[in-house]
Structure 1
Amino acid sequence: MAAASKAWWVRRTLDDFGDLCRYRKANAALPPATSHRVVFIGDSITESWGEGDPTLFTHDVIDRGISGQTTPQMVLRFRADVLDLKPAVVHILAGTNDIAGNTGPTSLEAMENNIKTMVELAQAHHVRVILGSLTPVARYPWRPSIEPVQAILAFNHWLKTYAHGQGLIYVDYFTPLDDGHHGFKAKLSVDGVHPDPAGFAVMSRLARQAVIEAQSAAPR
């Protein structure tokens, strides 16, 4: 990460840790929710998904990803960017930036607790939950000293187990994007971390199936 970009990111984080201001105007401008509204909350993968495959975010499917965010930041904005939008379904894809250390050292337990918090908030408001697995990463370009593979595998295993135990929908994005060595397939990624349009097409197919399943399920 370039020095200027890093300094800007640090200032932004200190000023508004959860980046609650990011979507404030967009949220206020939304029309009333339909009975099938879906909100995707996540980090840069979710944020750039709208550009990588804009066809996914139509018919009251709303993108609320913020680049660089970690799970504690998403917990802070979960009410403003998810619950207050009154969705029927929320898609949560979060955790890779925690492993990268974007907001400091963390642990798998802390990440798990943040996911649980978001899920419990959603369930308390009768919002059906989709949990997405982390996508493969062999190295983070901005944190080359970190070896993320084992942490990603462990977190994905926990996500799957937790989702099944809670009756949530789990989407395995990792397997179809895996290059066979737990890295991101080069032909589906721009940098080994973020999908390219072909990678997003793979993810969108899985996401659409999950959304259909969630929308057809009885509310929790």
Structure 2
Amino acid sequence: MTQQRWLFIGDSITDYQRRDDPQGWGYGYVRMIRQWLAGRGSAPEVLNRGISGETMRRMAARWEEDVLELTPNLLSVKIGVNDVGCHFNPERTDDAVGLDEFRSSYDRCLSGVKEKLPECRIVVCEPCGIFPPRVQESAAMLKDYIAVVGEMAARYSEFPAVPLHAAFVDAMAAKPEIDWTVDGVHPSPVGDALIAETWMRTVGLV
């Protein structure tokens, strides 16, 4: 049986210093998922194509090279935090991606996968994060982007959207003494474990 190839793409939460990792998996949730599968004796080939600071616009520009040409059997996409966050960062307002562009670019990318790699299973993950200091405005905007991810899951995936935002909201409410993130956006090691567990539960691995 040919080994499966799983590709994870997204922003810094996916990237997690993958270029410093000899295996190229990074040191976050992607590595955790791969190592859990290895412990079960069925680890696929894992490719990490996350890039820190990435937006949907930038990811779409590299989609052919970093996704389609690599012919994954499973593709996991986690994007959206920077698309929202750049609206509130004076140094990156030009990188902010509006909701309509986010939806159309996401749809175009995933439809390309279905067209060129029809056997590839697609997993889409909710963006999650709290954006200090303008938490209320950014959190309100984030909800619309999460809804778009849900649309993409319904259209292109056999799985529901991985409910990462809800997982963090619930975890922080239940265990506020735990540092789930290091800065409101980037997960701590405990937060990465939460992402990995939520991802695996959504795709039926646990």
Q: TM-score if structure 1 supplies the norm length?
A: 0.70
CA distance in 1, matches of 2:81, 2:158: 20
Residue number among 119, 123, 143 corresponding to 1:130 in the alignment: 123
Q: Which amino acid aligns with 2:125?
A: G
Q: For structure 1, which segment, 170-179 or 45-54, has the greater mean C-alpha deviation from structure 2 after superposition?
A: 45-54
Mapped contact 2:5–2:74 kept (Cα < 8 A): yes
Once the two structures are superposed, what CA deviation does each residue of 1:140-161 show, in whole Å capped at 9, x if it has no partner? 7xxx699311111111122213
1:116 equivalent in structure 2? 107
Q: CA 1:177–1:76 in 2, change beyond 3 Å: closer, same or farther?
A: same
1:174 equivalent in structure 2? 165
Q: Does 1:164 align with 2:132?
A: no
Mapped contact 2:85–2:131 kept (Cα < 8 A): no
SS state of the match for residue 148, structure 1?
A: helix
Q: TM-score if structure 2 supplies the norm length?
A: 0.74
Mapped contact 1:131–1:171 kept (Cα < 8 A): yes
Mapped contact 1:122–1:128 kept (Cα < 8 A): no
Q: Does 1:43 align with 2:11?
A: yes
Instruction: Give the share of equivalent positions with the same residue, in percent.
Output: 25
Count of residues paired in the alignment: 174
CA distance in 2, matches of 1:107, 1:157: 14
CA distance in 1, matches of 2:65, 2:152: 25
Please state how far the C-alpha of 1:166 moved relative to its aligned partner: 3.8
Q: Which amino acid aligns with 1:55?
A: M
Runs of 5+ consecutive residues of structure 2 not aligned to the other structure: 17-24, 36-42, 87-91
CA distance in 2, matches of 1:68, 1:104: 10
Mapped contact 1:177–1:185 kept (Cα < 8 A): no
Alignment RMSD (CA, Å)? 2.5
CA distance in 2, matches of 1:210, 1:94: 17
1:207 equivalent in structure 2? 199
